């Protein structure tokens, strides 16, 4: 959530940032928020003034009663009753205005970092680097949705019977590959200094608002309405919310957490090759890395996290590229996002497998996640997260890029985790 002080003091910068995102009616929306803020502050001032007058008169009543001036004291009591009623009315107005202001602030996305390129869609994203050679496959090479049927390692029909489309059943060597990747990613995170956590996969409404999934992605999340809990779209939500309403001692920074969870997203479901097989699912596994750090160190941290994720892809021997997302393709809460894409040779296209983002103070402001600077003043921290990594498209690329007529070779780094070197 954007800070009101920034909206007031850097209005033009905020509007320019929203325009970079192609946010509709940016100037009008910001003006409406500032108008609500001005009305709220005016009502607050009037309320405080009434309270002060009432308190002052109450003290006078005590003195008058002590001096025996009962008639004058009773007159003052009438005044305080009227003042309290006026203050109550203003307090109700203030509550309404605060709720309206909060709702309006929730609708504004984060402001892009100055390095974010202009653009409206994925076609305008900037390629930062590309690594690895794209393999040449043998004649008759298959896309992964045919390979999983050939080797009977993932079953979409069974998942559809049990639940519905987008909920595959992993079995045999497919299940072992899933487990191997999860353990490999977690072990690598521990080596890099991350602390492993295993959070709940259901979160309350406050957690959804804390990291910005609500209200922005309300319709894309599975909602258990009886208890008003949400199935998580990513481990970012519960892990970052571990620090909601916290003042973190500076000596404990940076906070580095990693966690594996299943993830649930309702938005999957369009037709075509882009969503076939493992390309887009309603449920999938992911290892997430999250950092909380000082503002002056967050962009250095973002580069460090990007390099770490690239290191995982290199160890898996997958060709990949890094994109800096343009304003029109960025997530709602992000100030700067790098996407990592692996090349799927059988499909002949790039598949996104990770997003690594700096949210600056946007989440921390919602979470009230703070620290005290050298002068003792409370300041907001910066939060970052990255997929390290999401499994479905990693599995798709491993299967497609490593297929041979005799079977599918597994990356060497996974051999100790798998107990086999080839799917056949």
Length of the chain: 424
Is 115 annotated among the ligand-binding residues? no
The response to whether 293 counts as a known ligand-binding position is: no
Query: On the CB side of 137, how many CA atoms lie within 13 Å of its CA?
Result: 24
Look-up: residue for tokens 């509007």?
A: 15
Contact 396, 344 (CB under 8 A): yes
385 annotated binding-site participant: yes
Surface-to-core class of residue 339, CB atoms within 10 Å of its CB (0-12 exposed, 13-18 middle, 19+ buried): buried
The sign of the torsion formed by the CA atoms of 161, 166, 167, 170 equals: positive
Strand ranges of the sheet holding 223-224, from the earlier edge strand across to the other edge: 202-204, 229-231, 223-224
Distance of CA 410 to the CA centre of its chain: 32
Is 92 marked as binding a ligand?
Answer: no
Is 39 one of the annotated binding-site residues? no
Separation between Cα atoms, residue 268 and residue 283, nearest integer Å: 10
Nearest Cα to Cα of residue 79 among 56, 105, 48, 109: 56
Tell me whether residue 424 is annotated as binding.
Answer: no
Contacts of 270 (CB under 8 A, 6+ apart): 280
How far apart CA 171 and CA 408 sit, in angstroms, is 16
What's the angle, vertex CA 190, arms to CA 188 and CA 196, rounded to 5?
Answer: 120
Cβ neighbour number for residue 122 with a 10 Å cutoff: 13
Q: Name the DSSP class of 386.
A: E
Whether residue 403 contacts residue 346, with contact meaning beta carbons closer than 8 Å, is answered with yes
Please name the residues in contact with 55: beta carbons below 8 A apart, sequence gap of 6 or more. Answer: none
Residue 82, annotated as binding a ligand: no
Q: Give CA–CA dist 129/320, Å, rounded.
A: 9
Residue 276 assigned to a binding site = no
Q: Quick check: helix, strand or coil at residue 374?
A: coil
Residue 375 marked ligand-binding: no
Within 8 A by CB and 6+ apart from 1, the residues are 105, 106, 108, 212, 362, 365, 366
To the question of whether residue 352 is assigned a binding role by annotation, the answer is: yes
DSSP state of 254: S
Annotation: binding site for ATP = 265-267, 352-355
Annotation: binding site = 234, 265-267, 288, 352-355, 385
Annotation: binding site for L-serine = 234, 265, 288, 385
């Amino acid at each position: 959530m954007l800070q009101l002080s920034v909206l007031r003091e850097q209005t033009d910068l905020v509007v320019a940032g929203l325009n970079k995102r192609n946010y509709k009616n940016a100037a009008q929306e910001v003006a409406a928020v500032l108008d609500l803020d001005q009305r709220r502050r005016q009502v607050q001032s009037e309320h405080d003034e009434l309270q002060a007058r009432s308190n002052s008169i109450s003290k006078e009543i005590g003195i008058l009663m002590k001096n025996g001036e009962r008639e004058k004291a009773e007159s003052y009591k009438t005044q305080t009753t009227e003042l309290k009623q006026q203050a109550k009315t203003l307090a109700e107005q203030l509550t309404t205005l605060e709720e309206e202001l909060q709702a309006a602030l929730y609708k504004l996305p984060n402001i892009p970092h100055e390095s974010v390129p202009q653009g409206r869609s994925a076609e305008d994203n900037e390629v930062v680097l590309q690594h690895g050679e794209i393999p040449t496959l043998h004649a008759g090479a298959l896309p992964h949705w045919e390979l999983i049927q050939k080797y009977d390692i993932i079953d979409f029909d069974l998942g559809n019977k049990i639940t519905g489309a987008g909920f595959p059943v992993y079995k045999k060597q497919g299940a072992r590959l899933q487990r191997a990747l999860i353990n490999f990613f977690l072990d690598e995170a521990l080596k890099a200094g991350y602390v492993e956590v295993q959070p709940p996969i259901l979160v309350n409404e406050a957690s959804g608002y804390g990291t910005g999934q609500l209200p922005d992605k309300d319709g894309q999340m599975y909602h258990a309405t009886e208890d008003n809990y949400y199935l998580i779209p990513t481990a970012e939500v519960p892990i970052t919310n571990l620090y909601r309403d916290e003042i973190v001692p500076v000596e404990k920074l940076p906070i580095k957490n990693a966690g594996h969870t299943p993830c649930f997203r309702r938005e999957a479901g369009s037709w075509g090759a882009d969503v076939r097989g493992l390309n887009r699912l309603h449920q999938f596994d992911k290892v997430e890395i999250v950092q909380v750090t000082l503002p002056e160190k967050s962009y250095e941290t973002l580069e460090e996290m990007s390099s770490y994720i690239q290191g995982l892809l290199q160890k898996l021997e997958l060709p990949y590229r890094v994109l800096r997302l343009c304003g029109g393709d960025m997530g709602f809460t992000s100030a700067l996002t790098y996407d990592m894409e692996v090349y799927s040779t059988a499909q002949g296209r790039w598949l996104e497998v990770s997003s690594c983002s700096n949210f600056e103070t946007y989440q921390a402001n919602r979470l009230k996640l703070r620290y005290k600077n050298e002068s003792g003043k409370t300041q907001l921290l910066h939060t970052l997260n990255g997929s390290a990594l999401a499994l479905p498209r990693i599995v798709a690329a491993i299967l497609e890029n490593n297929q041979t007529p005799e079977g599918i070779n597994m990356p060497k780094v996974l051999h100790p985790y798998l107990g086999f070197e080839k799917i056949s």
